[in-house]
């Protein structure tokens, strides 16, 4: 498997309209992850599913190909980096918890694009940070408007913290 995204059919290209990047850490939840990406692909013109683990990515690619989900492109790479090759995206779904949001993901949103994730921790002083009590996160919706990104919490929830999305340790007096 290469680091280049592949599709089920060489004739299928992501359309500029309705492109979605579903970032997921499949881990022990491979069935759950595989269910969401095909479901999202029915709502969007094209989906890029990003996975860090090459073994899980290959298993997912085989399943997607067998089930003929040709509008899903599977890419192998670091979740925190996103997939700038196929950007901009109308929607980015991060399927897991985030303490600090990297600007690289916000930069991959189209005008009016949305990013949704579960936010944990943070001081609430940046666009990708928000308050949390007792490890209950906030489902948070971010939107890119005129090059600026703003977010708002939607509801309390929980999700496993994704590797690479931890807040950097800071000195506390």
Domain boundaries, given as residue ranges, for the chain: 1-86
Predicted pLDDT of residue 28: 28
The per-residue b/e assignment along 33-52, b for 16 or more CB within 10 angstroms, e otherwise, is bbebbbebbeebebbbbbbb
Predicted pLDDT of residue 22: 53
pTM over 0.85? The answer is no
pLDDT digit string, tens, across residues 25-65 = 333 222 234 456 766 666 677 788 888 889 988 988 898 88
Predicted pLDDT of residue 52: 87
- 3-state class percentages of the chain: helix first, strand second, coil last, to nearest 5: 20, 35, 45
CA–CA distance from 39 to each of 45, 145, 169 (Å)? Answer: 12, 27, 37
């Amino acid at each position: 498997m290469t680091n280049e995204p592949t599709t089920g059919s060489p004739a299928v290209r992501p359309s500029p309209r309705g492109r979605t990047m579903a970032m997921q850490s499949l881990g022990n939840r491979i069935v759950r992850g595989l269910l969401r990406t095909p479901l999202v692909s029915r709502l969007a013109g094209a989906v890029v599913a990003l996975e860090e683990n090459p073994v899980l990515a290959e298993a997912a690619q085989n399943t997607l190909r067998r089930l003929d989900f040709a509008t899903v492109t599977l890419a192998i790479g670091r979740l925190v980096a996103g997939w700038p090759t196929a950007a901009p995206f109308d929607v980015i779904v991060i399927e897991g918890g985030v303490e600090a949001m990297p600007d690289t993901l916000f930069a991959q949103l189209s005008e009016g694009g949305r990013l949704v994730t579960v936010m944990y921790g943070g001081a609430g002083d940046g666009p990708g940070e928000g308050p949390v009590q007792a490890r209950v996160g906030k489902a948070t919706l971010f939107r890119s408007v005129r090059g600026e990104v703003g977010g708002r919490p939607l509801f309390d929830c929980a999700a496993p913290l994704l590797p690479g999305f931890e807040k950097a340790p800071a000195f506390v007096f």
